[in-house]
Structure 1
Amino acid sequence: MSSSVRARLFKISAAIITIAIAVGLCLFYRDDVSAAIKQRRVERLNAQVENIYTTDYQTMMDEQLTKERDSKTRTVDDIYTKVNPYGTNTTSMYVYFTTDTASTVSYTVSADGYPDYTATAVTSDEAATTIRKAINASESSTGNTLSPSASDEDSVVSTVSEDSLASTTHEFLVLGLIPQVKNTVTLTITATDGTKTTRTITKNGPKLLGSEEVKLNETVTPDSSTLGELGNGLYAILGNDSNEQDFMYYYDANGILRGEVPVLYYRSHRLLFDNNGLMWLSASTKNFVAMNRLGKIVKNIDLGNRFILHHDYALDSDGNIVSLATDLQRSDHAVQDQVIKVDTSTGKVSLLVDFGELFADYKSTTDHSGIDESDPTAKNRWDWIHFNTIQLMDDGSALLSARETSTMIKINDIEGTPKLDYMIGEPSVWDGTSEQDSFLNKVGDFGDTGGQHSITVQYDSTLPAGQYYVYLFDNNFGYAMTRPDFDWTVIDGISTAQSSKDENSNSQFRKYLVDEQAGTYTEVQSFDVPYSPYVSSAQELSDDLNLVDTGMQGVFGVYDDNGQLKAQYTMNLSTAYIYRVYQYGFRGFYFA
């Protein structure tokens, strides 16, 4: 090869290398710029949500809405509307007008390419209180104050007279505007004499704050019969945790997004409805907030410097919150082993149970290891029991689910002098402790649970005194970071697979009959569901429908009592899992 050719090739090669380096630098720079832009967007959104959860913001928005609304008389011919007035539900629309005669109002949200969404609004505080008191009274009389389904609420509301729900002033939220498309909202106003008036509102749906799907992928589409059974309840997605901005979402039975509720961070674990017409939820590890039916945050309780909440909470008979928690001031860094009480009137926080003291012997046998899911930056944590559910029972006791020991634990007098009543699970986990004698006897041939979640106590008036059901999501996963030498395969059928994609593993929906008088528990129902070693939830929706969230797969489904899938939905995961999915009827809150 001549020297001139070699020189030419050298120049060409050098030019190619130079161009490649330049292109690489440009791509690197572009990626760096894109990352910086994304980070600024996340920071702005975080700041926006933090502002929403301030008293000043809520007051300012309330004053602005009132001024606009009351600038003229609002009748059916001049209806006032405002999208997401308090910043707490992106796709909601506030509606206000008056009528000459007492009436009820229903609405239908329509958008091209999407199924219609129809609901009957609760249009006054008086109507909301009437419905809520009826529901709570029914739950109290049966003992079912724990996880009411939409069908339970439907049956109660059907006994409330329509006249008591009618009003001449109509103020409510329309849920479910489809984002960034034309929405037609048809209002049907029905007077007590049966006369109907309709009005139509056209509104472009707002842009979402998050990146969630507007329509979930339906891997099993519900048929018309199943849709009828599911009713008008909404699936609340509780904890599709994100490294950016966290939300709670509402989806209808067609898998269509009907609500986007931003939270400060972490997640809401369940929704609680009090007798004052307020919905309580956790907005962070430090904050319990109460929202009214119009979306305004009317209370925001900060837990202070000592405690952070963890995974679950319940309303007691006085309307105060009893919550699982971590004590941040412990010198041994034990986590997820406390129960606290939050006075919803004063905001005072008090300790009810320190399980490190109650079960000191067992705790001392565990390895000092673990993480704090409520605080991912924490180090040297001791997650020796890891409670994930608390259910307040009608005798003043509480039933708790302890993931790390795969045990369900009943504590008597939870708000007084707490004392262990019984345990359900594999007794050998507690070998060598006095608590081992507290296990109920198993009746029948079935394996015990592994890392169970979302336990629910269910009373039944047909059962004798001292008997009730407990149903749950059995992760069927045998592992405890603080018990590395324990052989979990002593539990029949349990999996030790860490991956939710393990083809040989499954989780289960399970239901026990507990007989306190006999000191026994019996499995009365179970069926296999997709595998999730951690998190997940279960909820009975009706006599024959059960909602199950397989959290680590981002899939939730509705099953009949034989385990036959009637509907199934998948959601893109923000990071690792969806913590829970519960269906709520929202009667006496959003709906009449």
Structure 2
Amino acid sequence: MEENELKCEKFMAWIFVLIFAIILAGCSAEAEPAANENLGKLTVPVETISLDKSDENFSYYDLTVQEELQQQLNGLKEKKNYTFKEPLLVMNPYGTNTTGLYLYFEEESSSSLSYTVSVDGSSDFTKTAKDANKDETQAEYQLIGLVPGEENNVSFTYKQEDGSTMIYEFTVTAPKSQSGYPIEMVQTEKAEDAELSDGLFYTLGTDGYAGYSYVFDNEGTMRAELITEDYRTDRMVFYEETLITAITDSMLARIDSLGKIVDIYQLEGFNLHHDIALNENGQLIVLATDQAKNSVEDVVLSLDLETGEYKKLLDFDDLMGSYKEMTAPVSDEKSSTWDWLHYNSIDLAGQDSMILSSRETSAIMKISGIYDNPAIDYLIGNEGVWAGTEFEDKLLTKSGDFEGQSGQHSVTYLEDDSLPEGQYYLYMFNNNYWWYLSRPDYDGPTNAKASLAREANEEDHSQFYKYLVDEKAGTYQLVQQFDVPYSSIVSSAQIYGDSIIIDSGVSKILGEYDTEGNLLAQFPYEADRFTYRIFKDTFEGYWFE
């Protein structure tokens, strides 16, 4: 019996040792760090896709053309099993971004890809790319940041779900700028220790370069050249991981994050002008000209982005016909144009209201009930312009001693939770330029401090203006202003985080300011006459994580 007990004790001891060894092995496995693999510098071929462009009507903005490109791209994808170490790279496969680099490979689990673009003489450009493929076994990206015409060194860091990483780098020479636009904006002013906001500047409507928009980093280096058709891109809006913009004066396009055109909207019978806005129901609200009318830039459309259906939402002949009768076409040696309102910006204010900027009348208008029963809620503008009209009593009362806006652009609605109900801000680029030719017999008061100069000059100044509107009291108050380079027409202002982005279009100067109006950095840029707008965005959720 003692012998059996001894055997039992030995057996239990061995069992204890075995269990202890298993526990130790498990702990060791948990403690073992994830593998990191640095592959050094590799040679990665970059493919291109070509189509017959001999037809004079050829356009990338044709869904049939896009399908042909997609079939060629699919053919490349099917040639082999691409991996992160040996991926498929294609330069600008959809024809919408000169230096957009398409990247594709297969993967076993979810992962993240960060990359750095290095070019001699430029700061490094580092981003985490957004995977456009919803299939967890495949990855597709459009890499943004290659500098046109330069040798770009690209470094990849691929982090897998288990924490392991793979790193390598390769070199690619990017195509030159298709439009010939300078790849650098030279910074002429910078405040000491100034730190610019995170994001990328993007241009809209650079005169002399129709059909192109440019993306620049904080150092003024071009990081993308976006290609449209022959029209300025008045504005870009984002909708369900796609970008919407005008590509001709009667056509808009929807472009996914890879650069593929996924939908085109033709607005027959209308011409686009100046601005678009997106509402909560997936409808685009569009400033337009009705080709069947005798006047221009006085119609608002709605466009359903899912169905492609569009209709006239507002015609200001109906809302302000009595005022139109007081105006007349403006003629020159070449043409006669009845531009009696010249709406140049639109912003939505709540569920059924909009804020419009009328350059011709130097007025800001709020319209309510825009989808079913439109009405003018109020006007902000020169009292003399509206004296004796049926809209005279719609003017808000100026609170304080200041000069009102003249020829303003990019009027933007800004809510603030700290304000009482009925109060909000409107901010704008106040061009400070008086232009009122549609009423040649007008002899009323003008904005006395406004300039009459069309060309850029150093004596005159435009301003950033910010109003506090109190609808309950029926007042507006100037709560912030600061001078910016003068621009008689076009131009934009954007409150962007803790910065204010200003494009003085006719002066051809981009500036970033702090919230107090102190200049942080300034970039003169190339254009024939002007750039219509310049804004800033992180492009997170579209190109980047």
Length-normalised TM-score, structure 1: 0.80
**Matched letter for residue 404 of structure 1:** E
**Matched letter for residue 465 of structure 2:** R
Confirm whether residue 316 of structure 1 aligns to residue 279 of structure 2: yes
**Matched letter for residue 518 of structure 2:** Q
Corresponding residue for residue 452 of structure 1: 408
Corresponding residue for residue 39 of structure 2: none
Corresponding residue for residue 499 of structure 1: 455
Identify which of 304, 328, 338 aligns with 1:382.
Answer: 338
Residue 245 to residue 495, structure 1, CA distance change in 2 (3 Å): closer
Q: For 1:241 and 1:173, locate their aligned partners in 2 and report how far apart those are by CA, in whole Å.
A: 28
Q: CA deviation at 1:370?
A: 5.7
Residue 488 to residue 86, structure 1, CA distance change in 2 (3 Å): farther
Confirm whether residue 279 of structure 1 aligns to residue 243 of structure 2: yes
Q: CA deviation at 1:467?
A: 1.1
Residue 47 to residue 258, structure 1, CA distance change in 2 (3 Å): farther
Confirm whether residue 342 of structure 1 aligns to residue 303 of structure 2: yes
Q: For 1:49 and 1:183, locate their aligned partners in 2 and report how far apart those are by CA, in whole Å.
A: 34
Over the aligned positions, Cα root-mean-square deviation in angstroms equals 2.1
Confirm whether residue 53 of structure 1 aligns to residue 80 of structure 2: no
Q: CA deviation at 1:487?
A: 5.5
**Matched letter for residue 262 of structure 2:** V
Q: Secondary structure at the match of 2:175?
A: coil
Q: For 2:386 and 2:134, locate their aligned partners in 1 and report how far apart those are by CA, in whole Å.
A: 52
Confirm whether residue 514 of structure 1 aligns to residue 478 of structure 2: no
Corresponding residue for residue 586 of structure 1: 539
CA contact (8 A) 2:177 2:183 kept: no
Q: Deviations over 1:32-69 (max 9, x none)?
A: xxxxxxxxxxxx99978952111122111111111112
Q: For 1:560 and 1:171, locate their aligned partners in 2 and report how far apart those are by CA, in whole Å.
A: 37
Corresponding residue for residue 303 of structure 1: 267
Q: CA deviation at 1:490?
A: 3.7
In the TM superposition, 1:470-485 aligns within 5 A as 470-485=426-441
Identify which of 247, 252, 255 aligns with 1:288.
Answer: 252
Q: CA deviation at 1:437?
A: 0.3
Residue 384 to residue 565, structure 1, CA distance change in 2 (3 Å): same
Q: CA deviation at 1:428?
A: 1.4
Q: CA deviation at 1:194?
A: 3.3
Q: Secondary structure at the match of 2:322?
A: helix
Corresponding residue for residue 367 of structure 1: 328
Corresponding residue for residue 237 of structure 1: 203
> Higher RCO, 1 or 2 (CA under 8 Å, sep at least 6)?
1
Corresponding residue for residue 525 of structure 2: 571
- Percent identical among aligned pairs is 37
Q: CA deviation at 1:198?
A: 1.1
Corresponding residue for residue 495 of structure 2: 540
Corresponding residue for residue 416 of structure 1: 372
**Matched letter for residue 107 of structure 2:** T
CA contact (8 A) 1:46 1:245 kept: no
Q: For 1:556 and 1:584, locate their aligned partners in 2 and report how far apart those are by CA, in whole Å.
A: 15
Q: For 1:473 and 1:401, locate their aligned partners in 2 and report how far apart those are by CA, in whole Å.
A: 11
Confirm whether residue 355 of structure 1 aligns to residue 295 of structure 2: no
Q: CA deviation at 1:223?
A: 6.4
Q: For 2:77 and 2:300, locate their aligned partners in 1 and report how far apart those are by CA, in whole Å.
A: 44
Q: CA deviation at 1:356?
A: 1.9
Q: CA deviation at 1:176?
A: 2.0
CA contact (8 A) 1:410 1:422 kept: yes
Residue 99 to residue 125, structure 1, CA distance change in 2 (3 Å): closer
Q: Secondary structure at the match of 1:87?
A: coil
**Matched letter for residue 106 of structure 2:** T
Residue 378 to residue 46, structure 1, CA distance change in 2 (3 Å): farther
CA contact (8 A) 2:191 2:519 kept: no
Q: For 1:433 and 1:450, locate their aligned partners in 2 and report how far apart those are by CA, in whole Å.
A: 20
Confirm whether residue 327 of structure 1 aligns to residue 294 of structure 2: no
Q: For 1:546 and 1:98, locate their aligned partners in 2 and report how far apart those are by CA, in whole Å.
A: 42
CA contact (8 A) 2:96 2:226 kept: yes
Q: CA deviation at 1:327?
A: 0.7
Q: CA deviation at 1:84?
A: 0.5
Q: CA deviation at 1:125?
A: 4.7
Larger helix fraction of residues:
1
Corresponding residue for residue 177 of structure 2: 208
Q: Deviations over 1:185-206 (max 9, x none)?
A: 1111122443322122321111
Identify which of 252, 258, 271 aligns with 2:223.
Answer: 258
Larger radius of gyration: 2
**Matched letter for residue 537 of structure 1:** S
Q: Deviations over 1:336-372 (max 9, x none)?
A: 011011122222221111112211111111122168x
Q: For 1:101 and 1:278, locate their aligned partners in 2 and report how far apart those are by CA, in whole Å.
A: 25
Q: Secondary structure at the match of 1:411?
A: strand
Q: Deviations over 1:60-114 (max 9, x none)?
A: 1111111112211111211110111100000110011233332111111111122
Aligned length: 494
Corresponding residue for residue 23 of structure 1: none
Identify which of 70, 74, 80 aligns with 2:82.
Answer: 74
**Matched letter for residue 386 of structure 1:** H
**Matched letter for residue 201 of structure 2:** Y
Q: Deviations over 1:262-309 (max 9, x none)?
A: 22112111111113x2110000111110000000001011111x1111
Q: For 1:46 and 1:465, locate their aligned partners in 2 and report how far apart those are by CA, in whole Å.
A: 60
Q: For 1:73 and 1:256, locate their aligned partners in 2 and report how far apart those are by CA, in whole Å.
A: 36
Q: For 2:117 and 2:340, locate their aligned partners in 1 and report how far apart those are by CA, in whole Å.
A: 49
Identify which of 462, 469, 472 aligns with 2:418.
Answer: 462
**Matched letter for residue 582 of structure 1:** F
Identify which of 105, 109, 120 aligns with 1:112.
Answer: 120
- Structure 1 unmatched ranges of 5 or more: 1-43, 128-166, 372-376
Q: For 2:53 and 2:325, locate their aligned partners in 1 and report how far apart those are by CA, in whole Å.
A: 44
Corresponding residue for residue 160 of structure 1: none
Residue 344 to residue 50, structure 1, CA distance change in 2 (3 Å): farther
Q: Deviations over 1:230-288 (max 9, x none)?
A: 11x2111000122x75211111111111111122112111111113x211000011111
Q: Deviations over 1:113-151 (max 9, x none)?
A: 221111111113559xxxxxxxxxxxxxxxxxxxxxxxx
Confirm whether residue 85 of structure 1 aligns to residue 98 of structure 2: no
Q: Secondary structure at the match of 1:356?
A: helix
CA contact (8 A) 2:492 2:503 kept: yes
Corresponding residue for residue 485 of structure 2: 530
Identify which of 62, 65, 71 aligns with 2:70.
Answer: 62
Residue 420 to residue 346, structure 1, CA distance change in 2 (3 Å): same
Q: CA deviation at 1:492?
A: 4.4
Residue 476 to residue 489, structure 1, CA distance change in 2 (3 Å): farther
Q: Which moved more, 1:457-466 or 1:293-302?
A: 457-466
Confirm whether residue 247 of structure 1 aligns to residue 212 of structure 2: yes
Q: Secondary structure at the match of 2:148?
A: coil
Q: Deviations over 1:169-188 (max 9, x none)?
A: 32111112122222111111
**Matched letter for residue 266 of structure 2:** D
Q: For 2:63 and 2:446, locate their aligned partners in 1 and report how far apart those are by CA, in whole Å.
A: 54
Q: Secondary structure at the match of 1:66?
A: helix
